[in-house]
Amino acid sequence: MAKSSADLRVGLIGFGTAGRFFHAPLLTTTPGLALTAIVTSDPERGGQAVAAYPGVTIVGKPQDLWALGLDLVVVASPNKTHAALAEAALEAGSAVVVDKPFAVTSDQGRALMAAADRHGRLLSVFQNRRWDGDFRTVAHLIEADRLGEVRRFESRFERWRPQLKGGWREQGDRAEAGGLLYDLGSHLVDQALTLFGAATHVYAEADVRRAGAQADDDTFLALTHANGVRSHLWASATAAQLGPRFRVLGSKAAYVTYGLDGQEDELRAGRTPADEDFGSVPPERYGVLGSVDEESPYPTLPGRYTDYYAQMAEALRGDGPIPVDPADAVATLEVIEAARRSADEGLVIEL
């Protein structure tokens, strides 16, 4: 996409999975944004970045970005570095987007919010799963009162990975925010809180099932929301048979859908939101709405990851709110912290 001098200049810290397959493709297909610089100390990744985005500047460390006067810095580095790098970028005068999890602790998250206020810069968190097609469909059905009073919300990110892939996500200790509770759990909790509001009680089980793993790889959370809805959330790398992605039970009807939103697979395959039908879902993958007496497929809304950065660009120009409030991410971290305590002590934790 052609860029102009009026485009907002963006720096991306990290060109691993998050930077390469999520942020860079979305940034470069969002009108009004220009991916200007990428931070990576890996020569191979630097070469991949230049090949994919000719003209981008490659720098070896985040500190090299601060003098560039960037409008926005995106932090897509390992979890334990999120808070420190985000604060440094804010101090350098840039707005900041932080990949999930926002920080390792809720206290770190609140300190980042205070830093953004102190420096007068926008701060948001990349919770892209709010723009999954299936999640958008669940939100639509609730808003349209197609389910009636929602009583239980079941949500799963399950995979079958019996062998370790390696890396800090599987080996990292708690100070590194490794494991599924922080990784996929950040999405699961954020989606539940987005739909049903604050949680009042948290129960969790966080197990290490695979030989050689040092961080949780089979995790369950039960949330009780202030409005009475119960959310049951699963994240697992050890599921040889996958459960439904969503199962939402209401007083009028239920909605059940299987399979993950396809935008991640499309991005990994080299497709972008600029490609035709990006994020669309074929009829054979629609979820089912109804009851045991009468049910039928319900069209899944398209996935819209590109909306995140489109809204962020508008916010930077003063034309709208940020796409994800960091206060939401702090609330998610509070639930994750309660879940960790619950799993350790075998207790239901009241927030």
Indicate whether 136 and 280 sit together in one domain: yes
CATH number where 102 lies: 3.40.50.720
Are the C-beta atoms of 22 and 302 separated by less than 8 Å? no
Q: What is the pTM of this model?
A: 0.95
pLDDT of residue 173: 67
Q: Is residue 322 part of a domain?
A: no
Indicate whether 156 and 57 sit together in one domain: no
Low-confidence ranges of the chain (pLDDT < 50): 1-2
pLDDT of residue 40: 96
Indicate whether 158 and 14 sit together in one domain: no
Q: Is residue 315 part of a domain?
A: no
Indicate whether 80 and 191 sit together in one domain: no
Indicate whether 200 and 160 sit together in one domain: yes
Q: Is residue 313 part of a domain?
A: no
pLDDT of residue 2: 44
Indicate whether 159 and 120 sit together in one domain: no
Q: Is residue 20 part of a domain?
A: yes
Instruction: Please identify, among 126, 145, 160, the residue that sits at the C-terminal boundary of a domain.
Output: 126
The angle subtended at Cα 319 by Cα 317 and Cα 321, nearest 5°, is 100
Q: Which domain holds residue 84?
A: 8-126
pLDDT of residue 165: 82
Average pLDDT, the chain: 95
Q: Is residue 28 part of a domain?
A: yes
CA distances from 306 to 3, 36, 67, 229, 271 (A): 17, 18, 28, 30, 13
Q: Is residue 12 part of a domain?
A: yes
Indicate whether 208 and 346 sit together in one domain: yes
Using the structure block, give the residue that is written with the tokens 């075998």: 346
Indicate whether 67 and 181 sit together in one domain: no
CA distances from 198 to 105, 133, 209, 226 (A): 18, 23, 30, 6
CA distance 351 to 333: 12
pLDDT of residue 172: 63
pLDDT of residue 115: 98
Are the C-beta atoms of 189 and 233 separated by less than 8 Å? yes
Q: Is residue 150 part of a domain?
A: yes
- How many domains is the chain built from? 2
Indicate whether 159 and 245 sit together in one domain: yes
Are the C-beta atoms of 11 and 96 separated by less than 8 Å? no
Element containing residue 112 per DSSP (H, E): helix 106-119
CA distances from 194 to 67, 116, 187 (A): 37, 23, 10
Q: Is residue 312 part of a domain?
A: no
Instruction: Please identify, among 126, 148, 176, the residue that sits at the C-terminal boundary of a domain.
Output: 126
pLDDT of residue 1: 43
Task: Write the single-letter amino acid at 339.
Answer: A
For 318-350, how does the pLDDT look when each residue is reduced to its tens digit (9 = 90+)? Answer: 999 999 999 999 999 999 999 999 999 999 999
Indicate whether 170 and 299 sit together in one domain: yes
Indicate whether 116 and 201 sit together in one domain: no
Strand ordering across the sheet containing 72-75: 57-59, 33-39, 8-13, 72-75, 95-99, 123-126
Indicate whether 92 and 175 sit together in one domain: no
pLDDT of residue 45: 96
CATH number where 265 lies: 3.30.360.10
Which residues 6+ apart lie within 8 Å of 311 measured at CB? 320, 321, 322, 323
Instruction: Please identify, among 126, 149, 176, the residue that sits at the C-terminal boundary of a domain.
Output: 126
